[in-house]
Amino acid sequence: MIIDGEKCVGCGACVPYCPVNAILLENGKARIDEARCVECFTCYRSWICPEGAIKIPVLEWPREIRNAFSDVAGTHKVTGIPGRGTEEMKTNDITDRYGWGEVGFCVELGRPGVGTSFREAEKVSKVLAGKGVEFEKQNPYTHLIDESGKLRFNIGEERVLSCLIEFKTKLENVPEILRTLRSLESEVETVFTVGVISRFNPDGSIPILSLIEGEGFKVRPNAKINLGLGKRPGGDS
Amino acid sequence: MTHTLHRLGDEDSLKKDYVVVAIYAHGINDNQPDSRDKLLRIAEILKSQRPINMINELLWNFTPAIQAVYGDKGSFKAALRLLKKEDLGISITVSGLMSEIKEIAEELGLKLHTVNLSLGVFGNKKLLPSEKILEMTSMCGHHCVSPNLVKNLVQQVIKNKITPEKAAEELSKPCICGVFNKARAIDLIKNLISQK
């Protein structure tokens, strides 16, 4: 982001709106801490500046990647959908992205609200690649790494609001993946959330619950559930 | 995109928080000539059941997903009943307490397909704001609602400069998906103030 120093009156109204504390008030003017700013454009979209001093810059590589991963209003060029990931399980009743015996994982670095550099995400993807997981091909982060989970570009220090790593594995590998994620807790300098995706059994039970609890993880009472109302055009769910 | 999954809070608070997301399967539904009409119909259905918040109507014609959030089980269930009845073929995903969703699904004859379970937050948790602040900010899963904005607005409420309702309205603005539950935010703000 850019704050036009000529227009800024130093009222500080914009400061609390930044999700990553990148707006500083110094010498009677607001300015952007460029190292911290993730180019989410939240400050601009809040229309909080009475003088119109907040402006969207023209972003060039590699800085533009901050915006691609942080600006929720943008539609990602690869996925064709808004946000940092894919439709994941939200369209599984149509796409069958996660079939029987498969388990999906959504590991989101920097969430909730802390932010992350791609270097932190790389720490996780390198370890997961070594475990033979199948990274989601449509996920934006997958396009930035090679088969060993290493970043393909020199973007390690670029910061984003969050970076979602999506992958799937076989049901029997779930305990090992969970142990791996736990071991990564002390390796990363940021926070991360973990979501685990599974089909429901025909009787309505969830096949992965006992595996998760068996590894000592607690499942939160609220979840995201695909109701099975989606249909392929001309066909059944 | 897991933005409605990790909403924090205790079960009593989450009983007032149900999100519905209707989304095209990219490359499948969106290739159909009537797909936009179907998505718009879903938006009308969701709106008809008086959501607390939903995606801005100006975006309905452009977005591949329609989201709404309900503050009570009755409205949420009524919306799902209508969606099932109209059978539009667009994927519908809901977020909320699993026990409640299962109960509603059984009553409506819905066969649940896939679940995304939240295991919570890991890593360097010293960097996180307080749990109470996170209950508020996690209602925008993309985390465009800043913890500092919550603190700032709560202070303004304490000083009687604005009402909790106005503060909740302001907090909802950065969440352009429309899943920030303003009614729950009012409760949380009052709760935060009572603890000070």
Domain boundaries, chain A: 1-58, 75-214
**B120 within a domain of the structure (yes/no):** no
Residue B6's identity, in one-letter code, is H
B36 touches A103 (CB < 8 A):
no
| Closest residue to B1, CB basis, from A87, A223, A227 | A87
The backbone region for B97, taken as left when phi is positive above 0, alpha when psi lies in -120 to 50, beta otherwise, is beta
Phi and psi angles of residue A77, each rounded to the nearest 5 degrees, phi first = -65, -30
**B142 within a domain of the structure (yes/no):** yes
Smallest CA–CA distance from B112 into chain A, residue: A227
Residue B140 has what pLDDT? 93
Q: Is B167 on the interface with A (CB under 8 A)?
A: no
Q: Mapping DSSP to helix (H, G, I), strand (E, B) and coil, where does residue B121 land? A: strand
The C-alpha atoms of residue A131 and residue A127 are separated, in whole angstroms, by 7
More confident residue, A235 or A173: A173
Q: How far is B94 from chain A (nearest CA, A)?
A: 5
Q: If contacts are CB pairs under 8 Å, which of residues 84-113 in chain B contact chain A?
A: 84, 87-99, 101-102, 105, 110-113
Claim to verify: residue B76 and residue B158 sit in the same structural domain: no
Q: How far is A6 from chain B (nearest CA, A)?
A: 25
| Closest residue to B147, CB basis, from A104, A113, A237 | A113
Beta carbons of A223 and B95 less than 8 Å apart:
yes
pLDDT band at A235 (very low <50, low <70, confident <90, very high): low
Claim to verify: residue B100 and residue B134 sit in the same structural domain: no
Claim to verify: residue B27 and residue B100 sit in the same structural domain: yes
Q: Compute the half-sphere exposure of residue B67: CA atoms within 13 Å on the CB side of its CA.
A: 24
Claim to verify: residue B104 and residue B160 sit in the same structural domain: no
What residues form DSSP beta bridges with A159?
A117
Res. A237: pLDDT tops 70:
no
Which structural domain, as residue segments, surrounds residue B28?
11-108
**Given B60, B83, B108, which residue is the final one in a domain?**
B108
| Closest residue to A111, CB basis, from B115, B143, B151 | B143
- Polymer length in residues for chain B: 196
The C-alpha atoms of residue B166 and residue B153 are separated, in whole angstroms, by 9
Beta carbons of A104 and B116 less than 8 Å apart:
yes
pLDDT band at B193 (very low <50, low <70, confident <90, very high): very high
**B181 within a domain of the structure (yes/no):** yes
Q: How far is B58 from chain A (nearest CA, A)?
A: 13
Beta carbons of A81 and B64 less than 8 Å apart:
yes
pLDDT band at A234 (very low <50, low <70, confident <90, very high): confident
H or E stretch at B43: helix B35-48
Q: How far is B3 from chain A (nearest CA, A)?
A: 9
Beta carbons of B96 and A185 less than 8 Å apart:
no
| Burial annotation B130-162 (CB, 10 A radius, 16+ → b, else e) | eebbbbbbbbbbbbbbbbbbbbbbbeebeeeeb
Chain A residues within 8 A of B21 when measuring between CB atoms: 90
Q: Mapping DSSP to helix (H, G, I), strand (E, B) and coil, where does residue A228 land? A: coil
Chain B residues within 8 A of A21 when measuring between CB atoms: 146, 148
Beta carbons of A113 and B117 less than 8 Å apart:
no
Claim to verify: residue B17 and residue B58 sit in the same structural domain: yes
Q: How far is A129 from chain B (nearest CA, A)?
A: 19
Claim to verify: residue B158 and residue B76 sit in the same structural domain: no
Question: Mutate which of A186, A222, A231, A232 to test chain B, going by most B C-beta atoms within 10 A?
Answer: A222
| Closest residue to B138, CB basis, from A80, A112, A217 | A112
Claim to verify: residue B97 and residue B139 sit in the same structural domain: no
Q: How far is A28 from chain B (nearest CA, A)?
A: 19
Claim to verify: residue B99 and residue B141 sit in the same structural domain: no
Residue A236 has what pLDDT? 55
**B116 within a domain of the structure (yes/no):** no
Claim to verify: residue B131 and residue B104 sit in the same structural domain: no
**B190 within a domain of the structure (yes/no):** yes
Average of pLDDT values for A86-98?
Answer: 94
How far from A77 is each of A63, A69, A139, A143, CA to CA, in Å? 16, 11, 11, 11
**Secondary structure in 3-state letters for A120-183:** HHHHHHHHHHHCCCEECCCCCHHHHECCCCCECCCCCCCEECCEEEEEEEEHHHHHHHHHHHHH
CATH architecture entry for A1-58: 2-Layer Sandwich (3.30)
Q: How far is B145 from chain A (nearest CA, A)?
A: 6
The C-alpha atoms of residue A196 and residue A175 are separated, in whole angstroms, by 12
Question: What's the mean pLDDT when you consider all of chain A?
Answer: 93
Q: Is B162 on the interface with A (CB under 8 A)?
A: no
Burial class (CB in 10 A: 0-12, 13-18, 19+), A97: buried
Res. A84: pLDDT tops 60:
yes
Percent of chain A with pLDDT over 90: 89
Beta carbons of B23 and A87 less than 8 Å apart:
yes
| Closest residue to B3, CB basis, from A83, A104, A206 | A83
Domain count, chain B: 2
Claim to verify: residue B104 and residue B134 sit in the same structural domain: no
Claim to verify: residue B179 and residue B138 sit in the same structural domain: yes
Residue A195 has what pLDDT? 97
CATH number at residue B43: 3.30.70.1150
Which DSSP category does B31 fall into? G
Smallest CA–CA distance from A230 into chain B, residue: B91
Token pair belonging to B79: 């919306």
H or E stretch at A222: strand A222-226
Smallest CA–CA distance from A206 into chain B, residue: B115
Residue B62 has what pLDDT? 87
Instruction: Compute the count of residue pairs across chains A and B with CB atoms less than 8 Å apart.
Output: 289
Per-residue model confidence as pLDDT tens digits over A20-68: 999 999 999 999 999 999 999 999 998 899 999 999 999 999 999 999 9
